[in-house]
Amino acid sequence: MSRFHALVFCATTLAVCGCTSTPTSNTARTATEQMLVSNAVDQSLSKVDFQAFGQRKVFLEEKYLDCVDKNYVLSSVRHHVLLQGGQIAPKAEEADVILEVRSGAIGTNSSNSFLGIPQISIPGVFATPEVKLINRVNQVGMAKIGLVAYDAKSHEVLGQGGTSLAKSDENNWYIFGVGPLQNGTVKKEVERGQPRYSNQPWVEVPRQVAFAAPLKAPPADEDKVRLTSGKDEDKKTKK
């Protein structure tokens, strides 16, 4: 094949080459943001001891809970109560225990830092571009959840209750423009959600918040009137 024919073949090949693009879309809230919030909520509730609600009817009071992903927080609390053998009461009148849930802070923050040369600009004179040797994009999720429990009949508080605080994070590193290199709790959760073998163990966060069980009702016998022959009473009076 002559050089001329080779050039014609290459030109024809380039002319008929095409490309394909697939349209993509994103949700209003990114998956990373939602994972940060849910991860922090999971860690926070894992510190709470729900054993005191076993075999009890529990009503969840949610009017003091005002945050993003409110449904996820409430559903997670229900899950923990049910796992300890408790029952979810649909109404406060039908419950043994009222459990109030409140949020101190549930949300995310982000920061961006880099090692390199910042952009320098002098209007009308010159401007130098920004040079990033190492760049770090950090996102943090925070969840501060408060709980208090009290007896549904006497309204007596059950234990101290308290607040549980947890943090999740996602770090993306770019080194000389190459990346991202990821680390953080979200990455660990994703990796843990894809087990390498069946029955992969779950390492639970240590518990810190605890509740006391409701006071037991007095024995039924104490409320009944006893009928005696009177002999014992006579002996007591003689003594």
How confident is the model at residue 203, as a pLDDT?
Answer: 55
Euclidean distance between CA atoms 41 and 146, whole angstroms: 11
How confident is the model at residue 224, as a pLDDT?
Answer: 45
How confident is the model at residue 196, as a pLDDT?
Answer: 60
Pairing of strands 162-175, 178-184: antiparallel
Residue among 165, 40, 183, 162 nearest 101 (CA): 162
How confident is the model at residue 226, as a pLDDT?
Answer: 45
**Domains parsed from the chain with CATH numbers:** 30-196 (3.40.50)
35: amino acid identity, one letter: M
239 residues of the chain, pLDDT tens digit each: 566 666 666 666 655 555 666 787 889 999 999 999 999 999 999 999 999 999 999 999 999 999 999 999 999 999 999 999 999 999 999 999 999 999 999 999 999 999 999 888 888 888 888 899 999 999 999 999 999 999 999 999 999 899 999 999 999 999 998 989 999 999 888 887 766 665 656 554 444 567 777 766 555 554 444 444 444 545 544 55
227 burial type by CB count under 10 A (0-12 exposed, 13-18 middle, 19+ buried): exposed
How confident is the model at residue 13, as a pLDDT?
Answer: 60
How confident is the model at residue 216, as a pLDDT?
Answer: 63
How confident is the model at residue 227, as a pLDDT?
Answer: 47
Per-residue tokens: 155: 């309204």
What order of strands is seen across the sheet that includes strand 178-184?
A: 87-88, 57-61, 97-117, 131-151, 162-175, 178-184
Using DSSP's 3-state secondary structure scheme, residue 215 falls into coil
How confident is the model at residue 26, as a pLDDT?
Answer: 85
Q: What is the pTM of this model?
A: 0.71
